[in-house]
């Protein structure tokens, strides 16, 4: 197994971890919801658990989130472990969904009305509570699904450099997979300095220098 194969085998897309099908419009909306949760300063585990709680309650569309109301959303967020940001996130979700429905109709309409990737990024960041981080999380897994090409995150570029991976060799879905894998690697191993446990340590320049 070569370097890229090993990387992708160990670190799949976040949407795949959550059993979300990005080929379907309903799946892309679910990923939008999950990305909003992942975008906060909170652990990936809590964000993933909270998304799964939304799924368990069947609250995973614009209409269902709006209909649930703040109290029900707070209950779901608390149950998922999102306690620290429960009220603010419930309010944010309602604001985003109401604005999305009133201004565009749907997430797919927002995309279709955007002229290019930059325009789509600007549109997403007009929503109160959606910044550059959430936008990057959301769009990076949609290359090859939507006709977009968002910039690769600095975090992914840094890890790519330590593994001697040329990101310019990849595009569309393959680039999405490589970038997401690099981000996961950074969070789970590089940031925690768990070099000896890292499945990519044989290819890492940092690990070789410290050996």
Which of the listed residues 111, 140, 169 is the one where a domain comes to its end?
Answer: 140
With respect to residue 146, please indicate whether it lies within any of the assigned structural domains: no
Q: Is residue 127 part of a domain?
A: yes
Q: Which domain holds residue 103?
A: 23-140
Kindly report, residue by residue over 18-42, the tens digit of the pLDDT: 999 999 999 999 999 999 999 988 9
* Residue 81 sits in the same domain as residue 159: no
Are 160 and 77 contained in the same domain? no
Please indicate, yes or no, if residue 110 is contained in any of the structural domains.
yes
128-171 pLDDT tens trace: 999 999 999 999 999 999 999 999 999 999 999 999 999 999 99
Q: Give 146's strand partners.
A: 143
Domain count, the chain: 2
194: in domain: yes
Q: What mean pLDDT do residues 169-186 have? A: 97
Q: Is the pLDDT of residue 48 over 90?
A: yes
User: 17 in a domain, yes or no?
Assistant: no
End-to-end Cα, the chain, rounded Å = 23
Distance CA 151, CA 116 (A): 13
Where residue 207 falls among pLDDT bands split at 50, 70, 90? Answer: low
Among left, alpha and beta (phi > 0; psi -120 to 50; other), residue 42 is: beta
CA distances from 102 to 63, 92, 95, 154 (A): 11, 15, 11, 34
Residue 61: which residues within 8 A CB-CB, separation 6 or more? 26, 29
Tell whether the torsion through CA atoms of 40, 43, 44 and 48 is positive or negative: negative
What's the rounded Cα separation, in Å, for the pair 164 and 108? 37
């Amino acid at each position: 197994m070569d370097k890229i194969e090993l990387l992708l085998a160990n670190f799949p897309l976040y949407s795949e971890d959550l059993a979300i099908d990005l080929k379907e419009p309903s799946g892309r909306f679910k990923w939008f919801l999950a990305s909003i949760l992942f975008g906060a300063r909170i652990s990936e585990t809590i964000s993933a658990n909270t998304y799964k709680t939304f799924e368990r309650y069947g609250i995973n569309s614009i209409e269902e989130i709006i209909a649930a109301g703040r109290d029900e959303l707070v209950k779901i967020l608390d149950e998922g472990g999102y306690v620290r940001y429960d009220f603010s996130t419930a309010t944010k979700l309602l604001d985003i969904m109401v604005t999305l429905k009133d201004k565009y109709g749907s997430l797919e309409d927002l995309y279709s009305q955007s002229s290019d990737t930059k325009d789509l990024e600007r549109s997403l960041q007009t929503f109160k509570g959606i910044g550059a981080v959430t936008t990057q999380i959301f769009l990076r897994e949609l290359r090859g699904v939507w006709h977009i090409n968002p910039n690769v995150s600095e975090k992914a570029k840094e890890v790519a450099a330590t593994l001697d991976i040329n990101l310019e060799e990849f595009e569309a879905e393959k680039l999405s997979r490589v970038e997401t894998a690099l981000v996961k690697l950074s969070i789970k191993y590089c940031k925690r300095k768990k070099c000896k446990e890292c499945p990519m340590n044989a290819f890492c320049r940092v690990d070789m220098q410290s050996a």
